[in-house]
Each structure stands twice: as C-alpha cells, then as structure tokens.
Amino acid sequence: MAEFPKTVEEIFDDFQRRRSGLLKALTDDLEELYQQADPEKDNLCLYGTREGTWSVELPAEEVPPELPEPCLGINFARDGMQKRDWVALVAVHSDSWLLAVAFFYAVKLDAAGRMRLFKLINQHPTLFESVSQRNKYKNTAPPASGGAGGPVVKRKKFDEGRPTESKYPSGRLLKADDVSPALKGRQAELFWPDNQLWYLVEIISVNAKTKQAKIVYASGEEEDLDLAEIVREGHMALL
C-alpha cells in the first residue's frame, strides 16, 4: 500500500498531480479517452494518478476500496449525448472525485488545515470550468445599476422599459454575418453561463477583422468579448 500524503502541502501536491492527469485526458488526450470509454465494455472509471497520468479502468475489486472511487460507468453515457456534453459530465464527476480523495487524505487535519487545503485547491479552476470555458466571463455578475460602488457613468441611456437581466433573450441570436462595424451602438443581451441569465449590454466598439468587441453593461461596467466564440456558442442576442 502506498503511503498516504499527510500534510496540507503533500495532499495539495497529490491533488495537483491527479488533476493534471485528468485535465490531460479531457483535453489533449480526449480522442484517446473517447475511444477507451467504449460503451460495449463493463463499467469503467476515469482515474487520475499520483504520477500525473490518467487511465480508464474497471473499479477496484476490494470492498471497501482503499480510496474513494471515481464515477462508475462513464462509458455507458458516451453515445447517448453530444460529445461536449459527455466530456462536461465526466469533468463534473472527476471534480467530485478529486475533492473526495483530497479530503479523504485530510481527515486528520484540523479545521485550519482543511481550510488552507480548500483555499489552495480553489486556486485552480475546476475541470468542468476548464473544459467548458465556463469561467470565460468575469467571476462576478455586473453590479446592478445604481448599486453600491460609487457613481456609474453610462455611455448611452438604456431603454428604461427593458430589464437589465432576464432568464430568456428577447432578441435574435447574433450570427457571423452580423459581425461588422455596424454593430457599434447596437444594444444586445449577453448570456452568462455562470448564472444562466441574459444581461442587457451596448456594443461600443467592434473590430470586424479580429472579431473582437467591447461592450458596456447597464451598470456602466465594460468588457472585451471574442465575438467568434460568442457566435459559436449562441451567447448574444441582438435587440
């Protein structure tokens, strides 16, 4: 039996190595992972190793297992959904497994040690965030207009009859053909995957060649966007 990591630093190092292996499986080695996760085989699990590698294996035979086990049967769902959705699903379960292993090791740490370990782990984006680019927008929602944080300077008065955020878009989705200087000054709604809301924005500059744009929220906060990515993922609706 391999010696378990005991200190915060040792456990965090183990976490990083396992995470590195899993991230490689879900990105650089995705095609190989996809082939190994054959639905015709028995229940398979995706493991991240202490050496920074990954493997698709049958679950441990010993009961109870030496360590918490990853999600069982990732291969069965492979052909029943779109590839990117399957990858996201495997990433979510892999995130859960990484935390389970880390805090299995951390059982003898005190509260301060567990808190420090959690803070170190949170320095990394989750695997789900990494594969789905869920963290591509700012980590916090734009402040509500007129809220705390000092005076807000708006470049243009937004339609007061239109909500600054909503669950559903009211315009038509931005298309590749729309990306031109004519978008400057156009109001739109930008979708945030983090909270599943559409935010009212104004497009204040557009570079049609690089597909880059700058937008301003109703709060006055500005942000740069990659319009090619926005179009591809359907995350903007023109008003």
Overall domain count for the chain: 2
Is 112 a member of any domain?
yes
* Summary mean pLDDT of the chain: 85
Tell me whether residue 78 is in a domain. yes
> How many other CB atoms are found less than 10 A from the CB of residue 199?
23
Domain that holds residue 118: 8-132
Q: How confident is the model at residue 164 (pLDDT cuts 50, 70, 90)?
A: confident
Confidence of residue 157 (pLDDT cuts 50, 70, 90): low
In a domain, 118, yes or no: yes
The verdict on residue 157 lying in a domain is no
Q: Which two tokens stand for residue 14?
A: 């183990």
- Determine, yes or no, domain membership for 146: no
> Is 85 domain-assigned?
yes
Pairwise CA distance, residues 75 & 90, whole Å: 10
Same domain, 178 and 81: no
**Adjacent-strand bridge partners of 206:** 213
* Pair 119, 215 in one domain: no
User: 127 with 13, same domain?
Assistant: yes
Domain contains 214: yes
pLDDT of residue 222: 86
Beta strand segments in 36-117, E: 45-48, 54-57
In-domain check, residue 48: yes
pLDDT band for 159, please (50, 70, 90 cuts).
low
